[in-house]
């Protein structure tokens, strides 16, 4: 089975054709349990997410703030494995028919084996991978196997990225570019800020030939912020706010309903631009 990069591209293009940004949700695999995580991701889709990123819990999550670190710790203490991440991708894709990516640091893939990881992700129906700490210059082996398996390679750019770096990333990446709206770790913010719009504009200018969609993450937590980011980005990425709904809920069922409700609120936010 080939991976679903085309489904990802078609989904982002359909949102654009409808005059709106795509809503991209993030939730870690294995949180609060493997089964509970699968149900939460389904709920995010049912609430209105267009794409979901499944986090591969890692013991040293350098990009993640305290909320996602807490969820990762719960998943790791629960014994989550890469096989559980693949199962999460498979079951959510089969249930929804929508694009599911994995967001992971490089070390777990390197230890697992690039060829094995990409083959299993494609077989599970995955659309690709977001690799926040893999330098483009060191990504040739990954990209070779990802392309062979029909998987997107999504790189992360930041406000500190120079224009030459942005050009290099947009040329090498596929699916979309993940624009980190601010310097620092994941988490909700009072304001997403003008830095994000400037970064989107610079990334688009740098990758004019590739025309990859540019999706913004880090800091978006409510419908108002989603609408703000949707006014200039191709996609709005929300992670910590979903995880917080789960952490703050009195039980797993309430947490899953909280995820569904938040996805609905954010979906309305991205559609205010339509």
Q: Which residues are catalytic?
A: 53, 64
Q: Kindly give the pairing relationship between strand 128-130 and strand 152-154.
A: parallel
The DSSP H or E segment spanning 25 is strand 22-28
Specify whether the CB–CB gap between 20 and 270 falls below 8 A. yes
Cα dihedral 102/183/211/6 (nearest 10): 10
Q: What does 107-157 look like in DSSP terms, one character per residue?
A: HHHHHH-HHHHHHHHHHTT--EEE-TT--GGG-HHHHHHHHHHT-EEE-EE
The DSSP H or E segment spanning 200 is helix 194-206
Residue 102: strand, helix, or coil: strand
| Residue 77, CB-side half-sphere exposure with 13 Å CA sphere | 7
DSSP state for residue 96 in the 8-state scheme: H
Contacts of 73 (CB under 8 A, 6+ apart): 57
Contacts of 97 (CB under 8 A, 6+ apart): none
- Return d(Cα 264, Cα 212) in angstroms, integer: 26
């Amino acid at each position: 089975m080939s991976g679903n990069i085309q489904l990802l591209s078609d989904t982002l293009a359909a949102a654009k054709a409808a005059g709106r940004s795509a809503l991209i949700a993030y939730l870690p695999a294995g949180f609060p349990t493997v089964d509970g995580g699968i149900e939460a991701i389904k709920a995010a889709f049912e609430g209105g997410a267009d794409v979901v990123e499944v986090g591969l819990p890692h013991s040293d999550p350098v990009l993640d703030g305290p909320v996602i670190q807490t969820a990762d710790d719960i998943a790791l203490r629960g014994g989550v494995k890469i096989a559980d991440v693949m199962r999460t991708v498979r079951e959510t894709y089969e249930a929804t028919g929508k694009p599911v990516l994995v967001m992971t640091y490089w070390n777990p893939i390197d230890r697992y084996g690039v060829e094995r990881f990409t083959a299993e992700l494609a077989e599970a129906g995955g659309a690709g991978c977001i690799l926040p700490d893999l330098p483009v210059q060191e990504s040739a082996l990954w990209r070779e196997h990802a392309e062979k398996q029909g998987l997107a390679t999504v790189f992360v750019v930041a406000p500190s990225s120079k224009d030459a770096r942005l050009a290099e990333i947009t040329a090498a990446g596929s699916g979309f570019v993940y624009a980190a709206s601010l310097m620092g770790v994941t988490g909700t913010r009072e304001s997403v800020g003008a830095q994000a719009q400037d970064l989107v504009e610079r990334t688009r200018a740098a990758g004019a030939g590739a025309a990859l969609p540019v999706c913004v993450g880090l800091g978006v937590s409510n419908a108002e912020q989603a609408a703000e980011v949707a006014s200039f980005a191709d996609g709005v990425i929300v992670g910590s706010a979903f995880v917080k709904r789960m952490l703050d809920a009195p039980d797993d069922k309430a947490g899953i309903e909280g995820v569904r409700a938040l996805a609905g609120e954010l979906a309305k936010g991205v559609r205010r631009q339509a």
